[in-house]
């Protein structure tokens, strides 16, 4: 499937998964564009999430739904947050408005952190195309509109870039996502090794 795809879109969910990250990296290693969609969290995000969960799980109480989502978005809260700990001890006494606000904050921190990590420091966020030796980066977008525009530009080959010098390297940043699309090292030893030893001489 990944070998046939022209580009791939990944949805960053509540947690990292080895399978999804591996597929992302292997697609980059083929030199194909990879888009990761990380939801942008507005002020009503938690309320909409809980509304959908109420429809899906009508047998569960509001308190249980909130606690389950807090477990997904803020796993350490049960050990580090005394308020959440007290809610776990007695879910029936949870102040729903306060708990929803706490969930909203946890979701905001989680998705903003995921986007920042994927864009700046994820160990699989930049992969070398094994056929050419060119380093390719994942394109991170936060809205459905940006994701659609990016797919259109990839398909129609109308991507736009900014060429920048960053940390001694030359970086090609895609304009919509402001993510690294290509990067070339400025280290002379690595450059020499690449041109003389990585690429096979043509016959």
* pLDDT band, residue 23 (cuts 50/70/90): confident
**What would the pLDDT profile of 30-63 be if each residue is shown by its tens digit?**
888 999 999 999 999 999 999 999 999 999 999 9
| Between residues 202 and 97, the one the model is more confident about | 97
Domain assignment of residue 27, yes or no: yes
Q: Do 199 and 191 contact (CB within 8 A), yes or no?
A: no
Exposure pattern of 97-126 as b/e (b: 16+ CB <10 Å)?
Answer: eebbebbbebbbebbeebbebbbeebebbb
Domain assignment of residue 171, yes or no: no
**pLDDT value at position 3?**
80
Domain assignment of residue 100, yes or no: yes
Domain assignment of residue 170, yes or no: no
- Looking at the structure of the chain, the number of domains it has is 1
Domain assignment of residue 194, yes or no: no
Q: Residue 4 is part of which domain span?
A: 1-128+139-158
Mean pLDDT of 12-18: 73
**What would the pLDDT profile of 129-146 be if each residue is shown by its tens digit?**
877 788 889 999 999 999
């Amino acid at each position: 499937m990944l070998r046939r795809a022209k580009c791939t879109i990944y949805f960053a969910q509540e947690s990292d998964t080895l399978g999804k990250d591996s597929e992302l990296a292997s697609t980059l290693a083929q030199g194909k564009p990879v888009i990761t969609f990380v939801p942008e969290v507005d002020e009503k995000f938690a309320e909409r999430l809980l509304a959908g969960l109420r429809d899906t799980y009508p047998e569960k109480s509001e308190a249980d739904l909130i606690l389950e989502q807090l477990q997904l978005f803020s796993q350490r809260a049960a050990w580090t947050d005394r308020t959440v700990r007290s809610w776990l001890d007695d879910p029936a006494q949870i102040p729903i408005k306060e708990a929803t606000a706490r969930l909203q904050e946890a979701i905001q921190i989680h998705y903003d952190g995921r986007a920042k990590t994927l864009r700046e420091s994820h160990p699989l966020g930049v992969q070398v195309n094994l056929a050419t030796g060119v380093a390719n980066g994942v394109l991170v977008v936060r809205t459905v509109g940006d994701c659609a525009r990016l797919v259109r530009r990839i398909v129609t080959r109308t991507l736009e870039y900014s060429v920048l010098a960053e940390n001694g390297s030359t970086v090609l940043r895609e304009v919509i996502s402001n993510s690294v699309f290509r990067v070339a090292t400025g280290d002379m030893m690595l450059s020499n090794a690449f041109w003389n030893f990585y690429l096979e001489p043509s016959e």
